[in-house]
Amino acid sequence: MSEKKPGRKPKRSVQHVQIPEPDYNANSINRKSDTLVYALGGLGEIGKNMYCYEHDDEIVIIDSGILFPEDELLGVDYVIPDYSYLVKNQAKIKALVITHGHEDHIGGIPFLLRAVHLKQVYAPRFAKALIAKKLEEHHLSRSCKIVEITEDSRIQTKHFSVGFFNTVHSIPDSLGVLINTPNGRIVHTGDFKFDLTPIGNNSDYQKMAYIGQIGVTLLMSDSTNSGVPGFSISEKKVAQAINEQMRKTPGRLLVSTFASNVLRLNQILEAAVACKRKVAVFGRSMENVMEIGKQMGVIKIPESSFISGNELNTLPANRICIVCTGSQGEPMAALSRIANGTHKYIKILPGDTVLFSSNPIPGNGTSVSAIVNQLTRVGANVVVNSPLTSFHTTGHAPQEEQKLMLQLIKPKYFMPIHGEYKMLVQHSATAQETGVPKENCFICSNGDIVVLRNETCFIANERVQTDAIYVDGNDASGLSTSVIKDRQILADNGLVAVIVTIDSRYNKILCRPTIVSRGFVFIKESQTLLKEAELLVYDALKKKMQQRTTFGELKNCIRSSLEPFLFQKTNRNPIVIPVILNQKDAMASIASKQTEHRTVNKQAEH
């Protein structure tokens, strides 16, 4: 081994070591330079649409909707997204943009405004009127400004430039959105269909084609009808079918449709006037939409054509048209009350015809069938939509129209939105048919982050916190979520209350506990079980009260001894509610001690 010479460094073989750059490509996020796209609601479900676009210190939100609850969500009024992430980052929020005025796109705005401060909401004309009405009902009219937007509007922030184009949907003033970001262009279609003979504004084919020509990095497109082949029928064809039915119906005609479909409502009213029928409108949501439709000039029927409920009996049957809510079998809607004979003004008469200008939304088929059966039972002639009648057309693009959108926009990457999981998968398959590579199609869940970087996209390995919040009344705190679990247990397993009387002065249980059951077991047939349970709790409490204890510990003792026993005997887990009654003299003793303690404390303070 050679000696090292003093003062000289040993020679080393030179190796060229490349220092790795920060690995942003392994699905990690650079929050300074990347553009993030994520949904807080609307993926894997039909409702609570809310899509966020984030770059550095700015967030643009598109839509803020609600989801109407399934039957198992007992007592829940609405389901809304979890706004926690937006609350933490509310300083970044630069704009809330609304595509159109349906509840699954605007219904969450009052709850969002209670959670975060927004200076303004951007919305098209009809949606603006609906939002203003909604904020007034929630006493939030002054909470933010509603700015009207059209297809020619522009919203400019430091990082985002947002533009719009007209689409056709089952509500007026529906817009698609173009978002220019530092990392590429995003097109968000909103809800759309293509109707070559529309009622109202036409789709902006030229603008969509131009956007496609200049290049789109990511397309986010409505997936509701991705399992439906072909093209949808035109709204004008529906108008002709309704007109024909109105003309040939000999008696009263009751028409039920979606309250929000103001263009359809106008067609029904125009057909009634053409057939010399007077119109009565029932259902709060429909009355609200009709009022706004009149203000907006969408409904132009003269006031003389409308009658009130009191005037229905003053006209011949063939001169009356009744328009009402309830086309989805909602139990409290006007049509349900008419079918059940509980409506204030309308009873079904022999010769009445009920027309459903709608299709059942998935999940509502059973409710709609029940209403149809009940209406038929009380003597109505019920007419529903079918391929032969054309009393309804969808507001969402089927497969061939989805392909047309994909061909116009020509995206590099594709993310299906607004649909259940199966719909997203089917829409992704349709995109691949039009030439989008499979690896460029992202089927995401709420909270997944799609990252745009230099006009490429990938799914990040991080997620945004998101959940469903259940709203009971106007409570959007999320506390209702735990209440729902209790309701579910009550519905499945029932309730057992254990009533115990004690004397806290002597730490003594005065008599055997009493057990009261509701919805758990049939009491007459389960006396032996309940007596065993009472003895079990009695023994457990006697042991517990041999040493000093608290009311909380006694309640836990009751639960921990009773719950396993009941499950072992019945295979059910009811809610166990301990009720501890303290003997009267003991309560008086406790009260006097507390008074004495407070007096001593006051004297000590002085």
pLDDT tens digits, one per residue of 460-474 = 989 998 888 888 765
pLDDT above 50 (res 537): yes
539 is catalytic: no
For CATH 3.40.50.10710, the residue range(s) in the chain are: 235-383
Say which of 105, 188, 396, 418 is annotated catalytic.
396
> Which residues of 206-345 form beta strands (DSSP E)?
216-222, 253-256, 278-282, 320-324
Q: Can you point out the beta strands (E) in 207-302?
A: 216-222, 253-256, 278-282
Mean pLDDT of 264-268: 93
For residues 220 and 188, the answer to whether their CB atoms sit within 8 Å is yes
Residue 337 pLDDT:
92
Do 82 and 468 touch, CB atoms closer than 8 A? yes
- On the question of pLDDT at 589 being above 70, the answer is no
396 is catalytic: yes
The residue with tokens 């009491």 is: 523
Q: For residues 3 and 502, which has the higher predicted lDDT (pLDDT)?
A: 502
Q: How confident is the model at residue 597 (pLDDT cuts 50, 70, 90)?
A: low
Report pLDDT digits (tens) over 95-117: 999 999 999 999 999 999 999 99
pLDDT for res 332: 83
- Mean pLDDT, rounded, for 494-519: 86
Amino acid sitting at position 402:
Q
pLDDT at 13: 45
Please state the CATH superfamily assignment of the domain spanning residues 35-230+395-471 in this structure.
Answer: Ribonuclease Z/Hydroxyacylglutathione hydrolase-like (3.60.15.10)
Q: Which of 193-197, 200-204, 503-507, 566-570 has the lowest mean pLDDT?
A: 503-507
Task: Go through 307-318 and write b for each residue having 16 or more CB atoms within 10 A of its CB, e for each that does not.
Answer: beeeebeeeeee
Confidence band (pLDDT; 50, 70, 90) for 254? very high
Note the pLDDT tens digit of each residue in 328-370: 888 888 999 999 999 989 999 988 999 999 988 776 788 899 9
Q: What average pLDDT does the chain have? A: 88
Least confident piece of the model among 167-176, 379-388, 420-429: 379-388
Whole-angstrom distance, CA of residue 393 vs CA of residue 299: 20
* b/e code 262-290 from CB counts within 10 Å (16+ = b): bbbbbbbbbbbbebebbbbbbbeebebbb
Task: Give every CB contact of residue 510 below 8 A, 6+ residues apart in sequence.
Answer: 501, 502, 503, 583
Q: What is the pLDDT of residue 478?
A: 57
pLDDT digits (tens, 9 = 90+) for 133-158: 999 998 998 889 999 999 999 999 99
Task: Specify the higher pLDDT residue, 530 or 481.
Answer: 530
Gap between the terminal Cα atoms of the chain: 89
Q: Model confidence over 413-460: pLDDT tens digits?
A: 999 999 999 999 999 999 999 999 999 999 999 999 999 999 999 999
Determine the 3-state secondary structure of 407 from DSSP. helix
On the question of pLDDT at 11 being above 50, the answer is no
Q: So what's the pLDDT on residue 528?
A: 86
Q: What are the b/e assignments for 339-349, b being 16+ CB within 10 Å?
A: beeebeebebe
Helix (H, G, I), strand (E, B) or coil at 479: helix
Give the residue-averaged pLDDT of 369-385: 93
Instruction: Supply the pLDDT for residue 51.
Output: 98
What pLDDT, on the 0 to 100 scale, is given for residue 116?
94
Identify which of 167, 72, 162, 172 has the alpha carbon closest to the alpha carbon of residue 122.
Answer: 162
Q: Which pLDDT value is given to residue 586?
A: 62
Q: State the catalytic residue, choosing from 222, 352, 448, 472.
A: 222
Chain region(s) in the chain for CATH 3.60.15.10: 35-230+395-471
Identify the pLDDT of residue 64.
96
Return the higher-pLDDT residue of 384 and 602.
384
* pLDDT for residue 61: 97
Lowest mean pLDDT among 174-178, 370-374, 566-570: 566-570
**pLDDT tens sequence across 16-52:** 444 444 444 557 889 899 999 999 999 999 899 999 9
Give the mean pLDDT of 3-20.
45
Residue-level pLDDT at 480: 56
Low-confidence winner among 2-16, 328-342, 393-407 (lowest mean pLDDT): 2-16
Residue 606: pLDDT band (50, 70, 90) is: low
Q: What is the value of pTM for the model shown?
A: 0.79
| Reported CATH class of domain 235-383 | alpha beta
Name the nearest CA neighbour of 170 among 201, 139, 141.
Answer: 201
- For the chain, give every residue range classified as CATH 3.10.20.580: 492-595
Left if phi > 0, otherwise alpha if psi is -120 to 50, otherwise beta: which for 270?
A: alpha
590 pLDDT more than 80: no
* CATH code for residues 492-595: 3.10.20.580
Average pLDDT over residues 197-222: 95
